[in-house]
Structures are given as structure tokens and as C-alpha cells.
Amino acid sequence: MSDEAVLELAPVVGTVAACAAIGRSRATHYRRHRQSPPPPRPPRVPHRDRAQPGALSAAERAQVLAVLHSDRFVDAAPAQVWATLLDEGVYLASESTFYRLLRGVHGDVRERRSQATHPATVKPELIATKPNEVWSWDITKLHGPAKWTYFYLYVIIDIYSRKTVGWMVATRESAALAEQLLATTIAAEHVAAGQLTIHADRGASMASKPVALLLADLGVIKSHSRPRVSNDNPYSESQFKTLKYCPSFPGTFATLQDARTFCAEFFHAYNHHHRHAGLGLLTPAVVHDGHAETVRAQRALVLTAAHTQHPHRFRHPPQPPRLPEPAWINPPTATEPITHK
């Protein structure tokens, strides 16, 4: 009797409530009526495909869409239509349902105004195989004697030799000063038209019209970093870090002349005494002036003599560091074609 009672009540009140009413253990009921193997479960229906009890019928959806597409409301926003109908004592559906029907069925919810489109910024890919092929320049701030006062350091660096070919410290950032420094440096390096590419970020002075016109007049190609991509100008950023991490860097400068004196000493030491790890431990001046092979050959003679005198101290005949390799700004990946400029 208990089994039949539970089976009769379970479809009405549920198995748990039927067992409680009869006074039978649920475990006993499940054990006696367990199917082995259990029946397969019906396939799971995604939530968006399930029939919702409160969903609008097809006729109701058609009515909502007809109202939204009517001549009265065709140019009104769904929220405006919903509020207008509500003020008139008409409720067809919720405001979100208005939007959902327009978006999902006809795709009518969108930006109607023409949108400005901007072409993707091209990644600069520059290679230098010798000096005076690609320069990088930038401006950094040096703290002055008082809070919020600065001196501005303009630096031009050759990315192949890492030599600072031009620099200047001024009291302001100015396109006119940048134009003057670039013109003087290009003349001092005897750069021919069509030989040089100058890369910079998109600062006001770098992207100014006077600088662009000067470079065009001198036959110099200009290149700019992508917006908000600091890695596109790595050589200038790296040199600024070397400058400001120098042990003798004072942090603040009392006068403009103090800043110029420090920078003159720093750039002279950087160009003529700093053995650069990216240049096979050669100085930038040696590489820029074309003496790299001569210095490397002299190093090889010294190492050969040391090996001859004490061969047991070496596993292999020692060789000096290799000569500098071509310098890249953003080398192309394996799937990209190689373009020099």
C-alpha cells in the first residue's frame, strides 16, 4: 500500500512530500523504484531557447514592432515611444523589450549618424646598417631649482652607432629651437639629401609644421611613433634612462649653465668612453667614425697573444665581441615583408 500511495502522490506533491506524508524513508522508496541503467536525460535546451512563461506571443511581438515602425514613432527612440504610450494609458511591453525586439529581429537599434573613421596607424619599421642612416630624437625634462620649473634637453642619437650627434638644453620646448638644432646637426654631419630618416614621437615640437618643412627642404625622411606606443622610440628612451641613472646625475640643476655643463660632460663620456653593450663593447664614436674593424682587429691581436702565452687558461681560442649588427626600430616578424624605409 505504501508503494502505491507514494507513486500516486508523487506526481501531485513531489516524491519528498509524498514520502513524508506516508511515513516512508526516501532512501527506501528510491532503492525499490530505481531504474538500472537510469533512463537517458533529455538533451539540455540553452537558456535563450527555452520558452519563458512570461514571454510575448508572436501576435504581441508583431504589435510592438508595428507601433515602433509606425509613421508616428519611426524616428523616435524606444524609450520615448514607451513613455509616450504609458502617458496615453497604453502598455504593450517593457522598455527593455522594445529595445530587444528592435535589436534582435531587425537590427534597427544603431547609431544613425555618420561616424568618423581613421585608418590604422602604421607601425614604423626602420633599419640602419651604417651611421647617419636613421636618427632618433626626443626631448626630456630636467628639474630646475624650484618646484615645477624645468630645463628641456633636446637629444639626437644615431641608432646604428648610438652616438649623440646633437644636443641642446633650453628653457622651453619650442619647434623653432628643434628646427635650429636639427638643421645645425644635419649640416655638421654632412648628410646628403635622401640619405637620412629621422624618427621621433608625436610631441608638439616633433610633429610641428616648421620641423616638417625643414626636413622636407633638406631631403630628410621623417618618421613618427604610433600614438601611445613608447616602444616605437626605444633608443632615445634608453639613453635618457642612462643619463638620469648616471651616478653623478644631480637630480636638480640650479641654473641653465649647470645643466649644460653636466650634459656636455655626460655626452662626451658617452660618445668617447662608454663601451656600449649593443656595439660589441665599442664606443659610439669609434663606430660612428668607421674605426670599428680596426679596433676589433687590435683586440684580436691582444687575445691571440694571451692565448699563445697561456693556452691552458682557455677552452677555445678567444675572439673579441662581434661588430655591431644592423639596428632596427620594430624589426618585422617572420610573416611580414622586410622594408628598409
What is d(CA 62, CA 82) in angstroms, rounded to the nearest whole number? 16
What cell was used for 210?
616648421
219 near 317, Cβ under 8 Å? no
- Of the options 1.10.3720.10, 3.40.50.170, 3.90.1490.10, 3.30.420.10, the CATH number for the domain spanning 126-273: 3.30.420.10
Q: Where are the domains of the chain?
A: 2-32, 59-106, 126-273, 287-326
The reported pLDDT for the residue numbered 173 is 94
The reported pLDDT for the residue numbered 334 is 65
- The secondary structure element, H or E, covering residue 86 is helix 78-87
The reported pLDDT for the residue numbered 341 is 46
Considering only CA atoms, which of 139, 131, 164, 119 is closest in space to residue 273?
164
The reported pLDDT for the residue numbered 28 is 83
Please, which residues have CB within 8 angstroms of residue 199's CB and are 6 or more apart in sequence?
Answer: 124, 126, 134, 135, 136, 137, 159, 222, 223, 224, 225, 232, 233, 329
Spans in the chain with pLDDT lower than 70: 1-2, 35, 105-107, 112, 334-341
167 near 155, Cβ under 8 Å? yes
Please, which residues have CB within 8 angstroms of residue 152's CB and are 6 or more apart in sequence?
Answer: 139, 140, 141, 142, 169, 170, 171, 172, 173
Q: How far is CA 19 from CA 2, 10, 33, 55, 220, in A?
A: 9, 8, 13, 36, 92
What is d(CA 303, CA 191) in angstroms, rounded to the nearest whole number? 37
**Burial degree of 315 (CB within 10 A; 0-12, 13-18, 19+):** exposed
Amino acid at 324: P
Please, which residues have CB within 8 angstroms of residue 219's CB and are 6 or more apart in sequence?
Answer: 192, 193, 194, 195
167 near 152, Cβ under 8 Å? no
**Burial degree of 55 (CB within 10 A; 0-12, 13-18, 19+):** exposed
The reported pLDDT for the residue numbered 118 is 76
| 333 HSE (CA, 13 A, CB side) | 2
